[in-house]
Structure 1
Amino acid sequence: MHIDHTGIAVRDLDEAITFYTTVLQGKLVDRYTNTAIGVETEIAVIHVGDDVIELLLPTSPTSPIARFMKARGKGVHHVAYRVEDLDESIESLKRDGVTFLEDTLRTTAKGRRLIYMDPRHSGGVIVELCDYPTIKQ
């Protein structure tokens, strides 16, 4: 398991892109809108060295990012860890007593499968587990 990316909730996507590409010398590698019901977010993917940052701008007041920002403000939303096999990791962690936000289990349009752990296990930090079954690891 290793860190796949860090998701950061932002209020101004263009301003955030400018910061990460100019100040931190990152490279914008993708920008798209996720229109899936319950997700509604515009996403910019920035590579900073070997690290990946996902800048997240809510496009609906009911998106999880909008709800997060209303409660906590902008900033780090989640840390995503890549696992070899998401289903196997979920089952193993469940045996250890870890619970998940089951309604977050999904496959993105980009082919990433993901689920969020219940943040009570991680001191309030939102932890995403993900895999890429169509991409060799």
Structure 2
Amino acid sequence: MAGGDVDELRAATADAWRAVERMRSRLGELGDTGVLGILGERIAALLGEFAWEVGMVDPAAAPAGARLDHVGVVVRDLRAAATLYGDLLGGTLVCGGGHDGMGIRSLHFAYAGGSKVELLQPTRPGPVARFLESRGGGPHHLTFFTPDLSASIEGFAGAGLTVVDADRGAPEWQEAYLSPRETQGCLIQVVEGADIAPVSGITVDAVLRDEWEWRDHRPQRVMTEARR
């Protein structure tokens, strides 16, 4: 399912949740504990289950505010990490590829409830490689999606936080970063844009063979002479 479709489902679920809560509140005022009251409770329970499936922890609170999309984890051995996060922990590989500019190769795994983990392996000297050498790997960043990056940046400034890097060049993907020095030790990426849709046919082996790369914030198949 495309990211935009999921966002629409989340918004519709939030609207339905609020409508059911209004109905239950009104029934409570009327003292109705009969069939309608039971029906309201059942609908609320079903909406809660559906909300979990589309990645909403609290449907009453969505879709306002930022949404945690994934946790970035730096690893030394991408294949071994893929076995752990994929085969053993039940993650589904949804996208990945190399990024020459950042000096990394990455894999994104999705889990029940909508949570995701991005595994990052450095491919050359750079910030991620320095993180690996200094800390031995581990959690590197949190990525949040926000409906309004400008409003988020204004909020950060109002709280005394400094945006250390921002890219507003592409309307489909705008991002800003907050330094770990000001966020209790964790790099935070905030993005306004469409979710990255799962990529059909991608495999761990293909990513490790550098057959996929990140271009314009989307994984693209590398066209080698053998495929032309």
**Normalising by the residue count of structure 2, what TM-score does the alignment of the two structures yield?**
0.52
Residue correspondences, number: 129
Q: Take 2:85 and 2:194, find their aligned partners in 1: how far apart are those partners?
A: 29
Quick check: 1:17 aligned with 2:82? yes
Aligned twin of 2:215: none
In structure 2, the residue matched to 1:68 is: 131
Tell me the distance in 2 between the aligned counterparts of 1:84 and 1:124: 25
- Greater helix share, 1 or 2? 2
Please tell me whether residue 28 in structure 1 is matched to residue 98 in structure 2: no
Return the offset for 1:112.
Answer: 3.8
Per-residue deviation, 1:55: 0.4
Quote the sequence identity (%). 33
Instruction: Mark the structure with the bigger radius of gyration.
Output: 2
Shift in Å, 1:134 = 8.5
Q: What runs of 5+ residues in structure 1 fail to find an aligned partner? A: none
Unaligned runs of 5+ residues in structure 2 are 1-65, 197-228
> Within 5 A, what are the aligned runs for 1:25-64?
25-36=90-101, 39-49=102-112, 50-62=114-126, 64=127
Cα distance in 2 between the residues matched to 1:73 and 1:134: 30
4+ aligned runs moved over 3 Å, structure 1: none
SS of residue matched to 1:124: coil
How high is the TM-score relative to the length of structure 1?
A: 0.83
Q: Counterpart in 1 of 2:150?
A: 87
